[in-house]
């Protein structure tokens, strides 16, 4: 257990060290900076990480483009008359 003189000396030393807050902060920052390595650089984005490319905007007065041609509609079948009797 420290004696009264040692305790008074320790208290005086700590008061001296903690008297200048800027010095304490600078020392702390320096200790932290030398204790840890800088973080690794961010990895390059993979194709799955990239957003899909944006499509060009269509003008308002034009219909949107289709990827395939629309099918032609079949003409409705003509109604046939009853067969004529054979003679």
**Side-chain-facing half-sphere of 82: CA atoms under 13 Å:** 3
What's residue 60's pLDDT?
Answer: 65
Return the residue matching tokens 């499509």: 55
In angstroms, rounded to a whole number, what is the distance separating the alpha carbons of residues 56 and 65? 11
What's residue 82's pLDDT?
Answer: 82
In tens, the pLDDT along 12-35 reads: 988 888 888 898 899 899 988 888
Domain residue spans of the chain: 4-35
Q: What are the tokens at 74? A: 């079949």
In angstroms, rounded to a whole number, what is the distance separating the alpha carbons of residues 20 and 27? 11
Q: Is the overall model pTM greater than 0.85, yes or no? A: no
Q: What are the tokens at 47? A: 């194709």
In angstroms, rounded to a whole number, what is the distance separating the alpha carbons of residues 70 and 64? 13
């Amino acid at each position: 257990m420290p004696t009264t003189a040692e305790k008074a000396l320790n208290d005086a030393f700590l008061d001296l060290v903690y008297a200048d807050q800027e010095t304490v902060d600078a020392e702390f920052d320096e200790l932290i900076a030398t204790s840890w390595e800088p973080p690794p650089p961010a990895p390059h984005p993979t194709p799955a990480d990239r957003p899909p490319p944006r499509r060009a905007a269509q003008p308002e007065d034009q219909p949107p483009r289709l990827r395939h041609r629309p099918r032609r509609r079949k003409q409705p079948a003509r109604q046939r008359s009853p067969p004529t009797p054979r003679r």
